[in-house]
Amino acid sequence: MPVLLFLYPDESPKTLTAISLFVVALNALSGTISYARQGRIDYRSGIGFVLATFPGAVAGAVVVGYVPRRMFDAIFAIVLISLGTALFVRSRNTAIIDPVTGRGVVRRLIRDRAGNTFVYSFQMWKGMLLSVGIGFISTLLGIGGGVVHVPVMMSILHFPVHIATATSQFVLVFVATEGSSIHFAHGVLGWNEALGRAALLAAGAIPGAQAGAMLARRLTSSTIVRALSAALVVVGARLALQAFNI
């Protein structure tokens, strides 16, 4: 989505989010297949998050049609910089996380194909409630939700970064597909130039998702978090300059 904003400075947010969500859906499907082979997807949690994102996803796909371009760029920049900063702070915080207590706590034990074991717990109701807002932001900004969902799953729900990344891809398939379907229904993404752009981007995104999933197996959690944090802040700052004509 940031690339589209740079390439098409005069295009409407509605059109760009429609293109982006179409690409995100195919990218997420490709990534999900790879992560499924690795055995790192928390399907039980993911299905709950998917169901919770639907209302917000519908609202976001509709609301974006009423947002002016400069305002859209500014909102996007603020979201990216905020997320990047939060991730950086988290990556430097090595304090031991206290066990999750209270109502609705679920515990997970996932062992991937490589023999790595991930043990964690969280409150499912909290995850589903957060997913409503994530669904809205995802389709409003055309980012599918991974860039928002992964930090939330890590910092608030205490998911291990590798499980959060894999499960987020699974959730993205449904959220991005729903957002794309709404844009198709409204005629924003039909048999036109927008769909052609989306198809060309998807042609690169699908193998890119496979490469990213393979690379994630070789990187430590802290490396992934810091790389994502830096990318978010840099892109957010660039969009802020564009939004405010600096």
What ranges do the domains of the chain cover? 2-243
Strands (E), 58-211: 105-111, 117-123
Backbone angles phi, psi at 50, to 5 degrees: -60, -50
Chain centroid to Cα 113, Å, comes to: 24
Reported as a single tens digit per residue, the pLDDT across 100-118 is 666 778 899 999 998 999 9
The Cα–Cα gap between 122 and 64 comes to: 32
Residue 91 pLDDT level (bands cut at 50, 70, 90): low
pLDDT digits (tens, 9 = 90+) for 189-232: 766 667 777 778 878 777 887 787 778 777 777 787 788 788 88
Residues, the chain: 246
Prediction pTM value: 0.78
User: What is the pLDDT confidence band of residue 239, given thresholds at 50, 70 and 90?
Assistant: confident
- Rg of the chain taking only CA atoms, in angstroms: 18
Q: How far apart are CA 143 and CA 80, in angstroms?
A: 11
Phi, psi dihedral angles at 220 (to 5 degrees): -75, 160
